[in-house]
């Protein structure tokens, strides 16, 4: 029997401060990071009865050790949700949390769920990308992909090759701007509402409390960036100054059917409009957000001119700049990553999609003149993902 689809809303999102890989979270379990996020969401929203949560989807790229054992289920149990609440793990590399969101959103839209929690975690200090994997040798032997496709930094260098007008200096300037915007956002108190403090432990110094991101370098200067080495290629263009680092951190958010959110008195921060995932040549995975955005726009019946705010994951400056060039957007457009991005705060792989969404929701609250925004990211092994959102605070709404 056919049934109408329901509108899906983003209620709220939180994240841990992001740490450097093996830094402040060196002795903290990965699952404890995402558990902390889930508990904080429940604390912030006492109007949500825990038994009304229908699903918990948690992403991790490296699903072993303390990121394994169907982490969505174990994290739900350890966060204090009733044993009746199921959970699962999901992996789409960097877009893990984004895919967790779109997956449960589909369930909400068709009526399988009313409320769900989605998020992601990556402890790259404990579990470096690629740990324990065994790629089928035929993928290289049969030349399905070039060996560089398996090294994300090498794919960024490949993209530079295809787009020589995106110079290292331009990428450095974009990286510097990310640092400066993040510094300004912290000083203005913009990022702090997203963050949940995390107790940390060090065998020598004892207990601590993580309250801010560990990775930002607010005093970065362009001259210093020009001296950084290019680890993926001699005389290359990708450096630690124009790319996200290796990071530890977690995110989580609440999604609900709009009618259920109103029934429970949950806030409505964003309304999902459409999304798109695509595959591209793995050797230049950074172009992925271009066709995924075109796909999401087409499904929504929108154009790029309808988008008033962009949260683009800064895995590498070159891939963001390729996106901006394709759509005719200036490098310093104020609609793009207003509070900085992953080059400054970090990119703990599978967790980052919800960070983008949480920040976009905060932007929407401050910009009722904007109706639509999007979150987009490139994805390892040659993919891109985009989610388009509508601002419920839009002043043009009737």
Rounded Cα–Cα distance for residues 285 and 379 (Å): 6
First-to-last alpha carbon distance for the chain, in angstroms, is: 32
296 near 275, Cβ under 8 Å? yes
From 37, 363, 367, 378, the catalytic residue: 378
Active site residue 253: no
Rounded Cα–Cα distance for residues 367 and 386 (Å): 21
Active site residue 127: no
Report which of 132, 128, 122 is spatially closest to residue 29, judged by C-alpha positions: 122
Rounded Cα–Cα distance for residues 74 and 51 (Å): 16
- In the chain, which ranges are E strands? 8-15, 19-20, 55-59, 87-90, 115-123, 198-202, 206-210, 247-257, 270-279, 307-312, 372-379, 383-390
Active site residue 347: yes
Beta bridge partners of 154: none
From 94, 123, 160, 363, the catalytic residue: 94
| DSSP character string of 225-284 | HTT---TTSTT-S--TTSB---EEEEEEEEEEEHHHHHHHT----EEEEEEEEEE--GGG
From 127, 160, 347, 363, the catalytic residue: 347
Q: Is 397 exposed, middle or buried (0-12, 13-18, 19+ CB in 10 A)?
A: exposed
Beta bridge partners of 115: 256
**Residues with active-site annotation:** 94, 347, 378
């Amino acid at each position: 029997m056919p049934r109408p689809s329901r509108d899906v809303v983003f209620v709220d999102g939180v994240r841990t401060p992001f740490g450097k890989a093996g830094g402040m979270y060196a002795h903290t379990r990965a699952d404890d990071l995402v558990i902390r996020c889930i508990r904080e969401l429940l604390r912030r929203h006492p109007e949500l009865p825990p038994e009304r949560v229908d699903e918990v989807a948690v992403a991790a790229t490296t699903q072993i050790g303390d990121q394994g054992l169907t982490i969505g289920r174990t994290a739900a149990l350890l966060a204090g949700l009733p044993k009746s609440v199921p959970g699962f793990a999901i992996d789409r590399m960097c877009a893990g949390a984004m895919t967790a969101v779109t997956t449960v959103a589909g369930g909400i839209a068709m009526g399988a769920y009313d409320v769900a929690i989605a998020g992601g975690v990556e402890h790259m200090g404990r579990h470096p990308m690629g740990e324990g994997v065994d790629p089928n040798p035929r993928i290289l032997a049969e030349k399905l992909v070039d060996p560089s496709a398996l090294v994300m930094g090498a794919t960024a260098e490949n993209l530079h090759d295809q787009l020589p007008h995106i110079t290292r200096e331009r990428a450095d300037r974009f990286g510097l701007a990310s640092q400066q915007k993040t510094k300004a956002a912290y000083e203005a108190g913009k990022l702090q509402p997203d963050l949940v403090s995390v107790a940390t432990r060090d065998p020598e110094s004892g207990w601590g409390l993580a309250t801010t991101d560990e990775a930002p370098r607010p005093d970065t200067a362009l001259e210093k960036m020009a001296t950084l080495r290019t680890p993926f290629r001699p005389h290359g263009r990708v450096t630690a100054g124009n790319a996200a680092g290796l990071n530890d951190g977690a995110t989580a958010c609440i999604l609900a059917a709009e009618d259920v959110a109103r029934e429970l008195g949950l806030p409505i921060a964003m309304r999902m409009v459409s999304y798109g995932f695509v595959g591209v040549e793995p050797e230049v995975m950074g172009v992925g957000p271009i066709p995924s955005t075109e796909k999401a726009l087409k499904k929504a019946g929108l154009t790029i001119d309808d988008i008033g705010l962009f949260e683009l994951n800064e895995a590498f400056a070159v891939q963001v700049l390729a996106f901006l060039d394709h759509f005719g957007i200036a490098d310093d457009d104020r609609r793009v990553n207003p509070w900085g991005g992953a080059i400054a705060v970090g990119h703990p792989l599978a967790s980052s999609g919800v960070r983008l969404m949480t920040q976009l929701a905060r932007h929407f609250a401050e910009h009722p003149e904007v109706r639509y925004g999007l979150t987009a990211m490139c994805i390892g092994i040659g993919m891109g993902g985009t989610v388009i959102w509508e601002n419920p605070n839009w002043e043009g709404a009737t």
